[in-house]
Amino acid sequence: GRDRIVRQVLTGAGFSESATFAFLEKDASTPFLEPHTEAAAIANPLSEKFAVLRPSLLPGLVDACAHNRRRERKDIRLFEAGSRFTSDGEGRAVAFVWSGAADAPHWSAPSRNVDFFDVKGVVDGICDAVGIAPEFAPAQVGFLVPGQAAELRAPGITTALGVVGKLVPAIVEARG
């Protein structure tokens, strides 16, 4: 259903699908936790690298992005659709990371770095494909840069569908 449609939109926009672990180290999960909550701990983890269940798909995607950057890949577009574990229990989510150029290199003009509006355009495309009329409102999210974050809502739905924005540089630097 919707997972397939979302995958088609993201791959059509030039993103590659990633599959990351549902287990994380506690420090990697902390910035992505809901306020006043803790990550779901694994009772008997194999190591501290796999101590908690991911509260978001973003920590794994950020690490995958860092892995690619260490191999001198500058322009990265990755997404994942999978499970995340919050205070409400297990749920499905989709997330993507985009780093580097917003467009393919061309001889007639220099490329420019991806910005908020490029990302918003991808989210608009996903919403259009699944029949949602998105509304964006400024948001304060701990892992996103203040003033460069928006909450995604749909008419008639009281809870936010998601967030869009630029990751806080400290998180990016901490993950390499």
Q: Is the dihedral of CA 115, 116, 121, 123 positive or negative?
A: positive
Distances (CA, A) of 86 to 29, 38, 39: 11, 9, 7
What is the structure's pLDDT at 110?
A: 83
Residue 78 has pLDDT above 90, yes or no: yes
Lookup: tokens for 1: 């259903």
> For 6-51, what is each residue's pLDDT tens digit?
999 999 999 999 999 899 998 888 899 888 888 888 888 887 888 9
> For 88-98, what is each residue's pLDDT tens digit?
889 999 999 99
**Angle, CA of 161, 60 and 85, to the nearest 5°:** 50
Mean pLDDT of 74-79: 93
Residue 55 has pLDDT above 90, yes or no: yes
